[in-house]
Amino acid sequence: LLEAIAVAYGFNAEGGSKNFLFSTAKTHSELHEDIIITKGPYRPEGSYFLRAESFYNLATEIDELDGGSGGLLGGYGGVSLHHQSHGEAFLALVRNRFKPRGLYLLDEPEAALSPMNQIALLRVLHDLAECGSQLIIATHSPILLALPDAEIMLFDEGGPTEIDYEETEHYRVTRDFFENQGLFLKHLLG
């Protein structure tokens, strides 16, 4: 669904801003054709689609478009995203490209991040939300799900439902694991 929203809004299915037109493989769903995007009176001052699974392709495209000039890389912290760890590159992108009053779609941003860097990302996302940005995030991270004032939607057979943080499976499984690690491992590993 997040991919369909991104494509319907005009983003590249592999991620980036609306200016990215590259394609490694056209594997995205046609669901975007059935989505109607409505826009309010205010236009986002920035927008980006961060997709974990194709981030390498995005980083490669940025390097190719930059062509060694450093001009495009300046908007990403001045260093090739390939010359940083996966997590550092994710944070560099968010810290340098995401601006207040923007629209940001993030697909599993925790994939590259340690728990400490998830907390760092949580801080950046909170600041963006406080400055009027709209964030739509698909995540399995109980850390990112803790974003204050977030509307958490569960998508299952019953359709989308808003749920509380403590009701999410990701929160409950993580809590249960830490509270009962020995019993959990004994049951799981025999």
pLDDT at site 21? 81
| DSSP-assigned letters across all residues of 12-54 | -TT-B-TT----S-----GGGGG------SS--S-EEEEEGGG
pLDDT at site 68? 84
> Cα angle at 156 between 123 and 183, to 5 degrees?
70
pLDDT at site 19? 85
Over the chain (190 residues), what is each successive 10-residue block's mean pLDDT? 93 88 77 85 91 91 88 90 94 95 96 96 97 96 96 93 96 94 88
pLDDT at site 70? 81
Token pair belonging to 30 = 């046609």
pLDDT at site 178? 93
| DSSP-assigned letters across all residues of 105-168 | EEESGGGG--HHHHHHHHHHHHHHHHTT-EEEEE---HHHHT-TT--EEEEETTEEEEE-GGGS
